[in-house]
Amino acid sequence: MSDTNIHTGVYEQIINRLFKLKLNEVDAGRFYIGKKLISKDDAVHILSKYLQHLIEVAFAGTPDDQDADKYTDFVNSVIKTLGREFNVDDTELDLIDAQKSILTAVVDRTNCEYPDIEQHLKAITPTTSLSRSALFFGGKGPADMESELNREILCADEICWVVSFIKTSGLNLLWNSLRKFTSEGKKLRIITTTYTGATDYDAMVRLASLPNTEIKISYDGTQDRLHAKSYIFLRNSGFHTAYIGSSNLSLYALRDGKEWNFKATQFELPQVIDEVRHSFEAYWCDATFEDFIPGVSNARLKKALGADWETPLLDFSALDLMRAKDYQQEILERLDVERNVHGHFRNLVVAATGTGKTVIAAFDFKRYREAHPDCRFLFVAHRQEILRQAMLTFRIVLEDPNFGSLWDGDNEPSSYQHVFASKDTLRNRLDHLQLTEDFYDYMVVDEVHHVVAPTYVKLMTHFKPRILLGLTATPERTNEQEDITVFFDGHISAEIRLPAALNAGLLAPFHYYGIPDNVDLTEVKWSGHGYDISELSRVYTQNDFRTGLILKKMQEYIGNSQLSKVRALCFCVNKEHARYMNAKFTLAGLRTDVLTSDDDHHHRTLVKKQLQAGKINYLFVVDLFNEGVDIPEIDTILFLRPTESATVFLQQFGRGLRLHKGKDHLTVLDFVGHSRAEFSYKDRFEALIGRHSRNIREEIEGGFTNAPFGCKIVLEEKAKEEILANIDGYLRSLNRSRIIKEIAAYHQVCHGSFSLKGFLAYSHIPFHKIYGALTWGEMCQKAGVRSEVSAHAEQIKFAVNKKWLATDSFSYFTQLLQFVASGFRCDTRTFSEQQRRSAVMLYYDLYDKAAHYASIEEMFRDLASDPLFIQELHEVVDYLRDRCSAPEKADNSVYQAWNPLRLHGVYSKAQIQAALGLSTIERKSPSREGVERLKDIKLEAMYVDIIKKREEGSMTAYKDYAQNREFFHWETQNRVREGNREAEAYRNGENNMLLFVRQQVEHPDYGCRMGFTYLGQVTMKSIEGSKPMQIVWHLNTPMSEATYAFASQYKAIG
């Protein structure tokens, strides 16, 4: 049996001719072959499913450009055959209509409140199909439980739920949808229990307050324990759905936990839906479950719930330092790029408190020490406890218990080779020490935001190590003149962004609520980079209506019983506003205080202790950097004013993200007004959720399904409208006329150093916006800065918009700059094979079709005759090279001698085809498939999109994904089956397989196609299945952390 794919085990396989042939090869004397005849009952289910599978395989195997007529004609012929063969009446009515459409909705236009019905339907229709079942594994993906349940609610006609317990955190996720659903006269029925006291009393009372809502509870938490979790959605259309699995109605179950939930549909699994509905009705009629009547059953519910239930806290080992975590490894990779690619050895790393900045420094130094065993090391900090903890961390990571010595007021090192020094001690002794500026090879400065102080400047200017590494959580200061990046080549080298820290569980997750406050700020004066403080204060101060709204929303989102238990930080416009809010909260019966920069150290310390002890619950502050507000116990933040700077907004946000025992999440209430055009929400939301497959507008419209693990962002409808309008206004403001005006203004102040790179730094206009309609040269001409433009302006614009925005390869852009440096007056006959192929890559960057030139030589002669093209090309490519971040390595394939591609570089498909010889200047590759071969050199390139489609309701299964950094699961084309030529080629390793991976086709921000990351040559680890086959490839070189972050994102979906 080892010679066939028939394995021992149990089956329910129809014996077709292929299996018959394979069974004939099995030794019947040795193996028992179990068979049974196909019965009538079997035929109904098994044969129909068998035919369905064959049809799906056949349809999927047709060319991408196959017209839908062929499919519908075939299905109609089958329907007619069924009518004839089985005497089915009215089969004519089952024939697919000539328009070949799918009915997605029927909506009564009479008094319809939605002006754009299609947009409304898009917002409420589940991302997963109404006709196809699905499985949810928790965490983030193209669809998660929270977002899908919200959509299911909004398009259902009746809802029936069974859950063991209900938490306020879970109810908040679905509250707006439930309120909308029940207000439309639709019925909501819920069955739950008081088991373990886990249900939140406030959540039950709040649920019961909804109209058309009935709740039944088992009040006995010790018997008849209900563990079922099911969310049933019934529809008049007949497209019922049900979610069955492990998730109760809590934040942890619907977003945070590794829960398994199965979605069944009436269309695909009618028997499952019927059984679930029958079971629900049986529970509903069971006397164990009693009606909860608001105002009558409250006392009984409180008694049954008993003591407060707390979520158990996870305990992570503080000594888990022997291996850098994924997010730390990504920072190390970025530092490699900064030094080895860009030549920057003065590196600033920004990471939130608690994310392991010192661990990153220790692993970075470990790599440096391995290459330089005799190096000298200096670690500088301003407090002894930081020095002691850092030295312990380095000893663990370096696996050297004797590494380093303390050097502070209490300790003197016996050797200066490896020291952890107090900045005060070092500064005071510096003049007496005979340590030259290059004495230390590797220097770390912790809490480096202090370096602008005079006590640090002396140290920073004296020592000039080979590597300077600065660590901080807050790089920005209140004084704009105090820019710490001047010590670090003018920029931040690497950053652990907020989403990464949250996903790693290093910070408390947040629940952000955007709430409209109906305040019009469009007439408030805009001064410099923000609203005029005095005018803004006048708008908010004495605005009792707004204050009443704030208090009402606190009751709604925090819970009335929790208002006196929270520890809230409330950000105000100025001292007058803070004192006003303090007075109004005090009148409401809340315990509050005010803290500003006027308060002395004693008062700040006292207030901090009172807030920590819960003696006050609301602290109104003005000065973000006030030392007294650094309180880990903070579990609530109120944004009572607009914060113009996204950086300041994140720092304010971060004041509540510190982990603390008993704090399961941070609640953030942000009150959104009608803002001026200069005020932008775009950057702050991008910072909160990170970069994903959708742009920020799509994220907002889709309900922020890509929020970090454990976090949620909920925008009330009016706030959502305001924010979307604000983002649209911001994007419209980046138009051609504004850019031209900015260019003219920059030309007046640049003092003769006019350049594209300088303009981008001056204006902060995104690079891709410049090339939206014109080129840089054309913009400069219209601004009156330049008199002529390149004859190849269209080619430059094509290259930028279609290719280079998605290219991330320092080596390739460097080669282009070498061509430019020669003025394209090169002797192409002396080119290496890599240079020649790079030239073909450039050709397909500039031109979409083959044969515009007869040869590379002719192209270079033409380009050399256009000095304006050479000038602009130099400016563009120089800028693009500087922003490259891919951790490129030498090619690991058998083609490395001539292949210009670098491992982990990011390239367009046309660039890849040119580099591999699949396209030449005379002939462009016609391939549009996911694999491409050059038979004469046994090369096969695999182009993989991790996300296949982004349309709502797509049935595409995601089966191409990274299992880890070394193994990649790949699905062949549908035509590949066991035994055919292609399958044997894969099984026998006949071709050299090169793997290219990208997140999706369309770039979420630029509108161009995303580039492919080159993962190098791979070898087969396993192969199974048929039509398509499943192959696991082993990467000869592990992929980078940045690639793994998106390549593994959908490994559980499908």
Distance between CA atoms of 756 and 768, rounded to whole angstroms? 12
Output the furthest CA–CA distance in the chain (Å, rounded). Answer: 106
DSSP reduced 3-state for 673: strand
Give the mean model confidence (pLDDT) for residues 429-451.
Answer: 88
One-letter amino acid of 217: I
Q: In the chain, what are the helix, strand and coil shares in percent, each to the nearest 5?
A: 40, 15, 45
pLDDT at position 597 is: 76
Is pLDDT at 38 greater than 90 in this prediction?
Answer: no
pLDDT at position 995 is: 98
In a domain, 839, yes or no: yes
Domain termination site, one of 893, 909, 926:
926
**H helix or E strand, kind and range, residue 720:** helix 717-733
Torsion 841-845-851-856 (CA) sign: negative
Q: Are residues 715 and 614 in the same domain?
A: yes
In a domain, 1011, yes or no: yes
Measured from the Cβ of residue 944, the count of other Cβ atoms closer than 10 Å reads 21
Q: Are residues 663 and 550 in the same domain?
A: yes
Q: Are residues 359 and 277 in the same domain?
A: no
165 close to 193: Cβ distance less than 8 angstroms? yes
Measured from the Cβ of residue 621, the count of other Cβ atoms closer than 10 Å reads 22
Residue labelled with tokens 């196909």: 38
Range of the domain at 583: 502-733
- Pick the more confident residue, 854 or 309: 854
Instruction: Render 819-859 in DSSP notation, one character per residue.
Output: HHHTTT---GGG--HHHHHHHHHHHHHH-SSS-SSSSHHHH
In a domain, 655, yes or no: yes
Q: Are residues 828 and 848 in the same domain?
A: yes
Q: Are residues 918 and 854 in the same domain?
A: yes
pLDDT at position 481 is: 44
- Pick the more confident residue, 888 or 597: 888
Using left for φ > 0, alpha for ψ between -120 and 50, and beta otherwise, residue 1015 falls in alpha
Q: Are residues 939 and 823 in the same domain?
A: no
Instruction: Render 296-348 in DSSP notation, one character per residue.
Output: TSHHHHHHHH-SPP-PPPP---TT--SS--HHHHHHHHHHHIIIIIT---EEE
In a domain, 526, yes or no: yes
**H helix or E strand, kind and range, residue 867:** helix 867-882
In a domain, 79, yes or no: no
Mean pLDDT in the chain? 87
- Residue 961 confidence class, pLDDT cut points 50, 70, 90: confident
Half-sphere exposure of 96 (CA within 13 A, CB side): 17
Q: Are residues 918 and 932 in the same domain?
A: no
In a domain, 466, yes or no: yes
One-letter amino acid of 178: L
Give the mean model confidence (pLDDT) for residues 799-813.
Answer: 96
CATH number of the domain to which 418 belongs: 3.40.50.300
Domain termination site, one of 906, 926, 946:
926
Strands (E), 488-585: 494-496, 510-520, 526-527, 530-531, 568-571
681 close to 525: Cβ distance less than 8 angstroms? no
Is pLDDT at 720 greater than 80 in this prediction?
Answer: yes
Q: Supply the angle between the helices 357-371 and 326-336 in degrees, to the nearest 10.
A: 50
Is pLDDT at 893 greater than 90 in this prediction?
Answer: yes
User: Which of 156-160, 349-353, 817-821, 937-941 shows the lowest mean pLDDT across its residues?
Assistant: 349-353
In a domain, 52, yes or no: no
Residues 6+ apart with CB under 8 A from 750: 758, 759, 762
Distance between CA atoms of 730 and 642, rounded to whole angstroms? 16
**What pairs with residue 571 in β-bridges?**
621, 639
Distance between CA atoms of 194 and 217, rounded to whole angstroms? 7
Q: Are residues 794 and 777 in the same domain?
A: no
One-letter amino acid of 553: K
Instruction: Render 55-98 in DSSP notation, one character per residue.
Output: HHHHHHTS-TT--HHHHHHHHHHHHHHHHHHTT-TTGGGGSPPT
Backbone angles phi, psi at 69, to 5 degrees: -55, -40
CA end-to-end span of the chain: 31
Closest to 128 in 3D by CA, of 703, 953, 701: 953
- Pick the more confident residue, 458 or 76: 76
In a domain, 112, yes or no: no
Instruction: Give 775-778 contacts, CB < 8 A, sequence gap 24+.
Output: 775/800, 775/872, 776/872, 776/875, 776/876, 777/868, 777/871, 777/872
Q: Are residues 600 and 452 in the same domain?
A: no
Is pLDDT at 5 greater than 80 in this prediction?
Answer: no
Q: Are residues 406 and 539 in the same domain?
A: no
Residues 294-327: pLDDT tens digits? 888 888 888 888 744 333 332 323 334 456 777 8
Residues 230-285: pLDDT tens digits? 999 999 999 999 999 999 998 888 887 788 999 999 999 988 998 898 788 878 87
Is pLDDT at 840 greater than 60 in this prediction?
Answer: yes
Distance between CA atoms of 407 and 415, rounded to whole angstroms? 10
pLDDT at position 1051 is: 44
pLDDT at position 275 is: 85
Q: Are residues 464 and 511 in the same domain?
A: no
Give the mean model confidence (pLDDT) for residues 4-11.
Answer: 81
Torsion over CA of 843, 849, 855 and 859, rounded to 10 degrees? -50
Half-sphere exposure of 709 (CA within 13 A, CB side): 14
pLDDT at position 308 is: 42
Distance between CA atoms of 814 and 880, rounded to whole angstroms? 10
Give the mean model confidence (pLDDT) for residues 978-985.
Answer: 87
- Going by their DSSP bridges, the two strands 442-445 and 377-381 should be labelled as parallel
**H helix or E strand, kind and range, residue 713:** strand 712-715
DSSP reduced 3-state for 356: coil
- Looking at residue 473, the DSSP 8-state letter turns out to be S
Structure tokens at 665: 């999440």
Residues 624-681: pLDDT tens digits? 544 435 688 999 999 999 988 777 788 788 888 888 888 989 999 999 988 887 788 8
Domain count, the chain: 6
Give the mean model confidence (pLDDT) for residues 203-227.
Answer: 83
Closest to 910 in 3D by CA, of 922, 926, 894: 926
**Which strand ranges, in their side-by-side order, compose the sheet holding 568-571?**
592-595, 618-621, 568-571, 636-639, 666-674, 510-520, 712-715
**What pairs with residue 346 in β-bridges?**
468
- Looking at residue 46, the DSSP 8-state letter turns out to be I
39 close to 12: Cβ distance less than 8 angstroms? no
Using left for φ > 0, alpha for ψ between -120 and 50, and beta otherwise, residue 327 falls in alpha
Residues 348-397: pLDDT tens digits? 998 876 778 899 999 999 999 999 999 999 999 988 888 999 999 999 99
Residues 6+ apart with CB under 8 A from 111: none
Domain termination site, one of 429, 452, 471:
471
Closest to 570 in 3D by CA, of 542, 547, 538: 547
**What pairs with residue 996 in β-bridges?**
943, 1014
- Pick the more confident residue, 659 or 859: 859
Q: Are residues 629 and 771 in the same domain?
A: no
